[in-house]
Structures are given as C-alpha cells and as structure tokens.
Structure 1
Amino acid sequence: MKVLTEKIEAITTHAGGTWGIVLEDLDTKETWKMNEHALIYAASVIKLPIMIAVFHASHHDEITLSDKVMLKREAIVGGAGVLQHMTPGTQFTIYDLVTLMIIQSDNTATNMLIDLIGAKKIQQIMVDIGMEKSKFFHKMMTVSVDRVGANEISAFEVYSLLRKLVTGQIISIHACEQMILIMKKQQINHTLPSQLPEQHEGLIGELKRWEIAHKTGYIPGFRHDVGIFYVGKRKLIASILSMGLDDIKSLEQFGNIGLEIYRYLENES
C-alpha cells in the first residue's frame, strides 16, 4: 500500500488545497490517513447519515419504506436531482426518496426525508454511529443567514461510517446490504470512478470488473467522494474530502486518485 499512498500524496500535493483522507485495504487491514480529523463542510456527503436515519426509523417500525410521501411545491429546491422538475402532488415511496437522494444527490428528496425523520433524530443517529464531531444543522439549498452552524464532517468519521456499513454493524446486516446496494447505483460518477475502465456487458450473472458503492459531495470550493471500491475479490474504503481546489481541476485529481486505487487493487487481486 505504500506505493499507492505515495502516489496519492504526490497528486494531492500537486493539486494544492486542503485534503482529508482515510484509506483502508479491507483485505490486508492496512490503513493510511491524511488530515483525517479536520472538519470540512459536508456538502452532499451528509446524505449518508440521513439515509441511515431513515433505515433506522424503518427498522424500529416508526415508518415503512413503502409508505408514500407527497411532493409539495413549497418543498421543491434547486441544485441536484429530478424532483424539482416533477409535478407537485405526485407521491413517492420513502425508499424512492432515499434512492434519489443518494444516486442523484436529489436535494428536494433529501429535504423531504429530513422533514419526515426530523433533524434531532438525524443528529442523534450521527452520534450513535460514532460521528460525534461531525455536525448536521441545515437542509439542502435553504441555509438561513442566522443558522446555528454548518454541516461538517471529517474524513475519519465518514470512513468509520463506511466501515460499519460494509461490515454490517449499522442497524442490521440486511439494512447495510440495502444501503450498499443503493450506493452502488450511484449516477454521479465524474470523480473517483471517472478514469476507470468501461464496464462492458458480459455474461449474465458474471461479476463486474469493478464496482464502487459511493457518495459524492460538491459545492464551489469543496469536492468530496467517499465509498467502497470492489475490484475482483479485493475491497478498499476511500474517504476523500477536499477544499480550496480549483473546481475544474479537482475533477481530474479525484479521477487520478480513483485510477491509482483501482490499479493497486487490480494488481494485488
């Protein structure tokens, strides 16, 4: 893993800005950290603990994932996602809202789920899963000028969340499996996966050459991508946060990091 981390250090040094990174090779148990406890604006990575809060509520029979929620005009916000273009009055299952929140980073779906679950419940879930320094204060695209604080995360606490997910230590093994499957359907793939080989269709049932269960986050000045790489039988957690980079060049740097991780796992496979 030393060669991989040296390459990532070179990429991040060349890119400039501030980085928070934690990697763990889940097969060799080797880890590498850089500025891992720094609190950085969360952007859409905060949607991961929101997803966990929804599944927690379902597990405890407070809601049912097949329950439907009506899209109200006053709930519609801009930014990422398709719900902002849908007709008010349309109903969506809670599971659909979670899926849209993760795979399209849909801000309207996210805010509907926050209203459903409640900010205090999300904050408590974050503490319960070990995100004690990370903070959740506000909805997407509706940040008040007199807000209490900003949504913040650290690379280490997001890594810990991912590790608990992939090892079935949050809520239940079944819930973790469902959440990982949603993350594998991610449609925003212009960061860590952007330079990986194309996924050609093979035989039915054949394992894919690679997969990533991940969640991105972006606002100007901040770009993140966090998730689990699956290459052959090899697995690696990557929690990568950045701020202060050029918004266009940061895409290339994330792609370079993703490619180096893929090469490492493929060579070791």
Structure 2
Amino acid sequence: MLAEEIRSVIRRAPGTLGVVVQDPSGVLVDLEGDRVVPSASTIKVLVLVAALRRVADGRSRMGDLLDLPAPAERVGGSGPLQALGSVTRLRLGELLELMVTLSDNDATNVVLDLVGPDGPAAVAAGLGLADTRLQRRMMDFAAREAGRENLTSARDLAALVAALRRGEALPPDQTRDALELLGRQQLRDGLPALLPPAVVCGNKTGELPGIRHDVGLLECDGRWAAVAVTATGLGDGPVDHGSVAWPSIAAVGAAVGAWLSSGTGRTGAPQGPRRP
C-alpha cells in the first residue's frame, strides 16, 4: 500500500518529513502535510505561476527584456547570474528558465520585481493555499532575521502542482509552458533520482540550512501524481546536514513512481512534463 510504504520511508529518514501525494481523484497520502515550513526555493513555483498569469492576460510577453541588477548588487546563492556580470538584460522567458531549472536567485528577484507581492498572493489565495506566503526576496537575510520568511507546507505544494496539471492555475498555453519548465529541471537528486524509466518527472527543489524540499509532477502513460516532500531538522547548530535527506526524498519518488507504473494511478488528460 502506497501510504504504508511512504510511512516506512519517513520512519527511517533523518530529520522531520512531511509528505503529500495527490492524483486526479484527490489527496491519497497526507503525512504531516499541514506542517508549515520555510519554503526555500519551492516558492519559485508560485512566482512562476504569477508571472505566467501576466503573460496570459497580456501584461507581459515571454520576449520582454528585463534589466538585471549591477553585478555588485546580485545576491547569488544559486544559479549562474552572479558570475555573469556581462549579462545585463534577459528576456522574461529566459529568466523563468533560470529561476526554475537552475533555481537562480537573481533571476527570481527580477521576476519578483515584475509581478510584485500581490501577484503570488493572488495565486495562493485563488488556489486555496492557506499555508503559503511570500514575504521576502531571495537571499534577503535581514528580512529573515526580522521574521519575514517565505512559508509553505507539503499540502500546499502538492495542491499547487496538481492545480497546474489539471489546468486550473493557468490557461492551456501557459500551463504547457510551466510544466515544460518543471520538466527541464536540472536539480534532480530528490523525487526524480530513482524513478522507473517509464515515469517522467518535473520538479522544483528547495534548500536552506537544515532544510531540503522537493515538489514534483510524476507521470506515466497518462497517470499522474503531484508529490511534495518537506524535510526539516537537518542541521546541527551552524552545520548543514541537509543533503542526507535526498535519499529519503528519492525513496518517496520511487514509491510513487512504482505505484504509477504498475497501472494503479488514475488517468488524466495527456498533458505533463517532458523528459529532460
């Protein structure tokens, strides 16, 4: 049974895990899924949807050129733009690619400037993501120290990806764009790492000291499941042991992948991430 197999993974896992699995019929597994945690870079899926809504309603175009901060003002942390000082402008589509596939924080902050705080808030409210709040830019340590943290839960993350897959978050063209971006993800040590060959996965990871998350859409022959894993309590004072969580997150992905590839998963419309 899928839920029992995932419980077994959680019992053996380091830290504290929350896991939610949702398919076309609704939530199948919810183990500590309502635990509110710092979102880390999984919040970028919410930002992606907010940006693509602007494209859908004509306020922005994927080819719009946006200015990057001066090299000395770039925040780094992940992604290549901090090292590419000669790059001063990028198209919106390129920024979204870097934000999702390489988790670039500078690209994300440019997109955040475009959508403003109301964009992600409207997405969260409209989709009923009660635990999800974007309260700071990427790498804004002063905001974190002041208590303005970006928050989410495994339940909200799975619901967001399931809403994307069902076509409820965006119109069809932008739904396709979002799922294809997730499918080109380059950070694949979590949910995709141990999947059976027939299962494809688009995902978005998140990392902070002592924290590792992954949310993804797993699909096999028209059957799909949105899966979210949040892992916290992986630090020891100033030492980050977060990487020890990836095998457990991968094991959750493998369990759901095996369930889908067995033919047990329910079918949906044939739209989803493409194999990278």
- Runs of 4+ in structure 1 over 3 Å off: 145-148
Please tell me whether residue 242 in structure 1 is matched to residue 231 in structure 2: yes
For the pair 1:65 / 2:62, whether they are aligned, the reply is yes
- Secondary structure of 1:248's partner? helix
Unaligned runs of 5+ in 2: 235-240, 265-276
Q: Which residue of 1 aligns with 2:50?
A: 53
The more displaced of 29-38 and 160-169 is 29-38
2:109 alignment partner, one of 99, 105, 111: 111
Other-structure match for 2:175: 176
How is 1:60-209 mapped onto 2 (pairs within 5 angstroms)? Answer: 60-73=57-70, 74-144=72-142, 147-197=146-196, 209=198
Residue 262 (structure 1) aligns with: 257
Contact 2:51 2:111 survives alignment (8 Å): yes
Structure 1 vs Structure 2: percent identity of aligned residues? 25
| 2:238 alignment partner in structure 1 | none
The two structures, once aligned, show a CA RMSD in angstroms of 1.9
- Cα distance in 2 for partners of 1:29, 1:37 equals 16
* Counterpart amino acid of residue 210 in structure 1: V
Aligned-partner residue type, residue 57 of structure 1: R
**2 CA distance for matches of 1:154 and 1:58?**
27
In structure 2, the partner of 1:202 is none
Shift of 1:256: 1.6
How many residue pairs were aligned? 256
Question: 1:218 maps to which residue?
Answer: 207
> CA shift at 1:134, angstroms?
1.4
Whole-angstrom distance in 2 between the partners of 1:30 and 1:156: 9
List per-residue Cα deviations over 1:75-101 (Å, max 9, x = no partner).
Answer: 411211111111245321001101110
SS of equivalent to 2:139: coil
Is the CA contact 1:224–1:241 (under 8 Å) kept in the aligned structure 2? yes
Tell me the secondary structure at the aligned position of residue 20 of structure 2: strand
Q: 1:160 to 1:66 in 2, by over 3 A?
A: same
Per-residue deviation at 1:157?
1.4
